[in-house]
Amino acid sequence: MAAIEIKDLMRRYRGNGFAAVDHISFNVESGEIFTLLGPNGAGKTTTIKILTTLLKPTSGTAKVAGFDVDKDKDSVRKSIGIVFQEPSLDWRLTGRENLDFHARIYGIGREEREERIEEVLKLVELKDKVDVVVDKYSGGMKRRLELARGFIHNPKVLFLDEPTLGLDTHTRRRIWDYIRELNDSEGVTIVLTTHHMEEADYLCDHVGIMDRGEIIALDTPKNLKDLIGSDVVSLEMNTGSYNTGIFKKLDFITDFRKQDDFVTLKMERGDLRIPSIMEVAMREGIEIKSVNLRKPSLEDVFLHFTGRRIRE
């Protein structure tokens, strides 16, 4: 079943000559993690704002948990949780007070609130900080508390707009694990946005790559990378004159480039081919300084479809 159905959705901001979201259509299946991946200004937050009823679409339709985001706002709001791109905790309150306040708004009774607060804090490992004012939390702790707040009321769909923006690599990985754990243990459908391709790659079942308001590619990260195909093996050689053309004779090589002391070879399953490549190099007396195998990344996919890098 689809948790989200988007049909021909468009949003133009007043005064802009272009559409921030430009006729997009896709579904998100129940229970999956879906990522919108794209550079600054791609239209990710605008899409999230429409799906969470904070912004009206200019045209087109979207349903979340079966409810129309324009015609049935209240039902949509009861079914969702949101973590905004901009921090939105009350810094003067403790972690517990922030969570309790939020749960009250959703009409959760006292006993259940206390139980749920314990549960969510355990998941994001903030139990020992629960009675500290948020002002004294680190950036990563604040983000974890926001995550906990986003799902304390058991939403069907949880929206996370840039959940790891500005966090260091270590904290980012921990947040990824909480998101996965949440998806596993509570079965909640998660839609998140990011411009980190590793984040999309690590976390999501399906990724929609967004650029200039459009969805330019949509599939599993694996299928998208397979589309790019080949692995890239690059050889760094000691300076000298070698018969590097010999690599072209290997029947599994699909592309050969030589620049200065580097030879770049494309092939399927580079991991299995490196021994043969090294054997040829040794036979020809080609002195190899280093070997590097690179699998295609979502960055290569973005590059393939747009001719640009995500972080330009």
Per CB under 6 A, which region of 36-44, 61-69, 94-102, 279-287 contacts ligand ATP? Answer: 36-44
Using CB under 6 A as the binding criterion, the count of chain residues that bind ligand ATP stands at 13
Dihedral sign of CA atoms 277, 282, 285, 287 in order: positive
Residues 261-280 that bind ligand ATP (CB under 6 A): none
User: CA 141, 202, 218, 301: dihedral to nearest 10 degrees?
Assistant: 110
User: Is 286 a residue that touches ligand ATP (CB under 6 A)?
Assistant: no
User: Is 16 a residue that touches ligand ATP (CB under 6 A)?
Assistant: yes
x/- letters, 38..57, toward ligand ATP (CB under 6 A) = x-xxxxxxx-----------
Residue 59: phi, psi to the nearest 5? -155, 170
94 CB neighbour count, 10 Å cutoff: 19
Partner from ligand ATP, Mg ion, none binding residue 40, C-beta < 5-8 Å depending on class: ligand ATP
Q: Is 4 helix (H, G, I), strand (E, B) or coil?
A: strand
DSSP state at residue 79 = H
Among 7, 13, 184, 238, interactor with ligand ATP by CB under 6 A: 13
Partner from Mg ion, ligand ATP, none binding residue 41, C-beta < 5-8 Å depending on class: ligand ATP
x/- letters, 76..105, toward ligand ATP (CB under 6 A) = ---------x--------------------
DSSP state at residue 194 = E
* Positions in the binding site for Mg ion (CB under 5 A): 44-45, 85
34 CB neighbour count, 10 Å cutoff: 24
What is the amino acid identity at position 285? G
Which two structure tokens, joined as six digits, stand for 92?
């003067």
Q: Minimum Å distance from CB 79 to ligand ATP? A: 22
Dihedral sign of CA atoms 166, 177, 300, 49 in order: negative
Task: Summarize as ranges the residues that interact with ligand ATP (CB under 6 A).
Answer: 13, 16, 20, 38, 40-46, 85, 195
